[in-house]
Amino acid sequence: MSAIVCQDLCKTFEQGEQRIIGLDRVSLSIEAGELLCLSGPSGSGKTTLLNAMGGLDTPDSGSITLGGRRIDQLSRGALADLRLREIGFVFQAYNLIPVLSARENVEFVMQVQGLAPALRRERAAGVLTEVGLAGLEERRPAEMSGGQQQRVAVARAIASEPQLVLADEPTANLDSQSATQLMDLFQALNRNRNVTFVLATHDPRVMAYARRLVRMEDGRVIDDVAQQPSGRPSVGRPSVGRPSVGSEG
């Protein structure tokens, strides 16, 4: 079953008098449990596509279906609910709330969801252990390394048990070792929890983990291939092609 289906998505931005094409008739179908990488140079449209899939931005035309439900025409409030309950986000710059501890950051989404305190605590402790941060629960973001902060962000994204996690350049600010650890974590979560991961990146270390690689350029999908994930990074390794799934170049 498809986790998310994008059909003929178009998005343009105004920058002064210039009109910039963000997405140009993008169609993409992502199956549940996939670990997919959107790659391409800066300005290729991968973040715009990720934002549209996550209900953070609305396309000018086309449709997005998440779990069988059209989301491109939902109201602001309904989109907020959708992000709250069905999607986990991991951003480039960690994006933790600085006045909250690691545990409180992880619990934050669950608090907004209205989960009982005991359940929140139990889940937060569980996911923080799962991402390797046991013992650091009460540290604030400023007291943690970049890699640890990004792990907290991952823990926050998966704590509410979403079926889809969207990550935008998750390793951009991490050193090589932290990036590898993070991708190992994504891979394990994808396998163990069957969570669908869609990652926007131009980092070859990340692409190496993907089971499907979608290349974008100028707002269009130019390549969509399946590959055998290496598990460990192999920079510049060519992708192993397989027929694309519902892609458009």
Residues lying near another protein in the complex (CB under 8 A) are found at 51, 54, 56-57, 76-77, 80-85, 89, 91, 95, 97-100, 104, 108-109, 111-114, 156
Which ranges constitute the DSSP H helices of 43-196? 46-53, 76-86, 102-113, 117-130, 146-159, 176-193
CB of 54 to another protein, least distance (A): 8
Output the CA–CA distances (angstroms, integers) from residue 224 to 101, 214, 243, in the order listed. 40, 4, 8
- Considering the complex, state which of residue 117 and residue 231 has its C-beta at the smaller distance from another protein: 117
Whole-angstrom CA distances from 75 to 89, 136, 247 are 20, 38, 28
62 vs 91 by CB, closer to another protein: 91
Shortest distance, position 95 Cβ to another protein, whole Å? 5
Q: % helix / strand / coil in the chain, to the nearest 5?
A: 35, 30, 40
Judged by CB, which is closer to another protein: 21, or 82? 82
Is 97 or 235 the residue whose CB approaches another protein more closely?
97
User: What's the min distance (Å) between Cβ of 20 and another protein?
Assistant: 14
Q: Which two tokens stand for residue 96?
A: 């933790």
Q: What is the DSSP letter of 52?
A: H
Q: Report, in Å, the least distance between residue 157 CB and another protein.
A: 9
Asked if 126 and 156 count as a contact pair (C-beta separation under 8 A), the reply is no
Q: Write down the least CB distance from residue 18 to another protein, Å.
A: 17
Cα separation of 164 and 111, whole Å? 19
CB 115, min distance to another protein, A: 9
Q: By C-alpha distance, which of 140, 152, 151, 143 is closest to 177?
A: 151
Nearer to another protein, 60 or 234 (CB): 60
Tell me phi and psi for residue 17, to 5 degrees: -95, 0
CB 136 within 8 A of CB 102: yes
**Closest distance to another protein from the beta carbon of 229 (Å):** 28
**Smaller CB separation from another protein, 91 or 146:** 91
**Of residues 113 and 234, the one with the C-beta less far from another protein:** 113
